A and B are shown apart, each in its own frame.
Chain A
Amino acid sequence: MYCVHCGKPAAEGEHLPCRGGRAALEPPRFCADCGRRMVVQVTPVGWSARCSRHGELTSAGASRLTD
């Protein structure tokens, strides 16, 4: 698993900046499955984040939709 805020392995390091107040205002930027940078679209009430390998994650479902 990878950190969705910095893209590094979630189990390595402290990820302090990834758990602060600023991170709470960020949609996921990296794929939790592979750590790739995702294409993210923020909308007035939500967001969507697409990994080229693992499909799209949305705030509405907060679950992964496969291509």
Chain B
Amino acid sequence: MTAAAERTHDAETAPQDAPADVLAVAREQVLERGVGLSEEQVLAVLHLGDDRLDDLLALAHEVRMKWCGPEVEVEGIVSLKTGGCPEDCHFCSQSGRFPSPVRSAWLDIPGLVEAARQTAATGATEFCIVAAVRGPDARLLSQVREGIKAIRESGNDIQIACSLGMLTQEQVDELVGMGVHRYNHNLETARSHFPEVVTTHSWEERWDTLRMVREAGMEVCSGGILGMGETVEQRAEFAVQLAELDPHEVPMNFLIPQPGTPYEQYEPISGREALRLVAAFRLALPRTMLRFAGGRELTLGDLGAEKGMLGGVNAIIVGNYLTNLGRPAQQDLDMLTDLKMPIKALSDTL
């Protein structure tokens, strides 16, 4: 039985008369057997009261330690092509359709090499090159090719990932040929909520790119942003849709309302809700790398970030993001030292 089938089977065979405590069920199902929670079970977790939050985080941490281990993967990211995107992702300050203060910019090859050097200097093993585009054109792919070549010639052997929007099969094959080992393409939100967030392309188009990426042998990285007006039911739906995708990595972002975008006036979600989500996603995805990404500084602060690391997260983006600033990388590295969580070594990833 596949993990997805087993998940459905468990949900269907759960006793209906007296609802069991979802954390007790999760302990047996997820911690002991490694079977992620169903949508209904994730929803039950998301409805747990604040008085159960510490228990939830502790269980999620146990699950992470058992099925992923103590190591933390550290990654840096950089925007190769900023702004001017033709898509209308309502959360994004880089869409050319909104009156955002972000102007278009291209990072040159020396700048890209330097960004990769800065990332490797933090101890990170992963460097993700990102472009704000619907999909890459020949010019962008050429820049990526030359950039990767220059990074390697500089003596930097950091693992390189890319996030360049939707791909054709030819482009997937080209990225594999460049040595790109992981591709990020976020599903962003639940399938049922996606049309409220993006109208210029579909959730299914994103899924198609991810399918091609997986079939080509690259690692799949796909997560999303929480706090974009989705319901709690849609959050549970999203967690399970990600589990069905079975990605290598899920980056979890929390919305930072960006000036000029349709979501400018949205309130960031609370720290407690963010932590509940982190733990719930871990229980839906016991074996997947779960990465703290954008928005944690605003939503969780320093103490909340530590709680998240002790509540299911096992990867982080350090330093700055694409258009927003993060906290200093050293602060995160010190946090990992304090938590006695070893940074995944590059030798482990090759």
Contact = CB atoms under 8 A, between A and B. Distances in A.
Interface of A: 5-7, 17, 21-22, 24-27, 29-30, 37-47
A43 B325 contact: no
Contact of A44 (B78, B82, B259): B78
Chain A contact residues: over half helix, strand or loop, or mixed? mixed
Interface residues of B, number: 33
B325 A27 contact: yes
Contacts of A27: 323, 325
Interface string B307-345: 000000000001111111110110000000000000000
Contacts of B103: 37-40
Contact of B319 (A5, A17, A26, A45): A45
A28 to B, nearest CB: 10
B101 A44 contact: no
Contacts of A22: 256-257, 298
Contacts of B36: none
A21 B299 CA distance: 10
B82 A41 contact: yes
B320 A42 contact: yes
A44 B119 contact: yes
Nearest to B107: A41
Contact of B323 (A6, A40, A45): A40
B78 A43 contact: yes
B41 to A, nearest CB: 34
A44 B319 contact: yes
B76 A42 contact: no
B118 A45 contact: yes
Nearest 3 pairs of A and B residues by beta carbon: A44-B319, A29-B101, A44-B76
